[in-house]
Amino acid sequence: MSHRGQRDSISTGVLILIGANVLFLLATTIHPDPTFSLGLKPASVSERPWTAVTSLFIHDGIWHILTNMLTLYFFGGYLSSLIGEVSLFIIYFGGGIAGSLLFILLAPSSSIGIGASGAVFALGGALTVMRPQLRVIAFPIPVPLPLWVAVIGGFVIMSLLPNIAWQAHLGGLAFGLVAGYVLSQRRRRSS
C-alpha cells in the first residue's frame, strides 16, 4: 500500500515499533517457546495478563510480519506526521489491547492470538477518519482507492481467511475509528 503526499522521512516511533517486532520474530525463530508463552490464549489470560500486549509482537513467519510491518510503515508514517509519535503509540497500543480484549471475549478459549494486526488496523481506522479523502494503492489493485475502501475491504477479506483473529482486527479497527474521531474533533476545536 502506498499513498501520495507522505513525508519522505519515517518517524522514529514507527521505526521503534518495526524494530521491536523484528527482534521478537528473531527471538521466536531461534527459540519458538516465546510464541506460546507470549501469545494470547483466552483460556489462560487470567494467569498471564501481559500476553494482551506481548502477543502484539509475536508473528508466525515472514509473510505475517511482512504484511503487518509494511502496513505499519505506511499507515504509521503518515499518521505520525499528523498527530505526533505519542498519539501514534497510544493508538497502536490502545488498538492492540482493544483487539486483544475482543479476542479474549469472542475467540475459542483454546485458540492463540498473535500479531500486530489489531494495532495496525487501529492506525488504519484513525487515519481513515482523519483523512477520509486520502487515496492509496493497495496491492494487487493497481488503481488508487479511497483509504476507507482499502481498510474496510482488507478487514473483510482477511476475516474470511482461515486461522485469522478477526476479533483482534475488529477491536483494533473500532478503537482506531473512535480515536480518529476524537482527534479530528480536537483539531477542529483548536483551529
Q: Is the dihedral of CA 113, 115, 117, 122 positive or negative?
A: positive
Q: Choosing from 3, 11, 55, 169, which is the catalytic residue?
A: 169
| Contact by Cβ (8 Å): 92, 17 | yes
Q: Is 31 an annotated catalytic residue?
A: no
Q: Is the dihedral of CA 136, 68, 20, 62 positive or negative?
A: negative
Q: Choosing from 44, 110, 117, 184, which is the catalytic residue?
A: 117
2, containing H or E segment: strand 2-3
Q: Is the dihedral of CA 2, 154, 105, 163 positive or negative?
A: negative
Q: Is 3 an annotated catalytic residue?
A: no
C-alpha cell at position 138: 493497495
Give me the active site residues, please. Answer: 117, 169
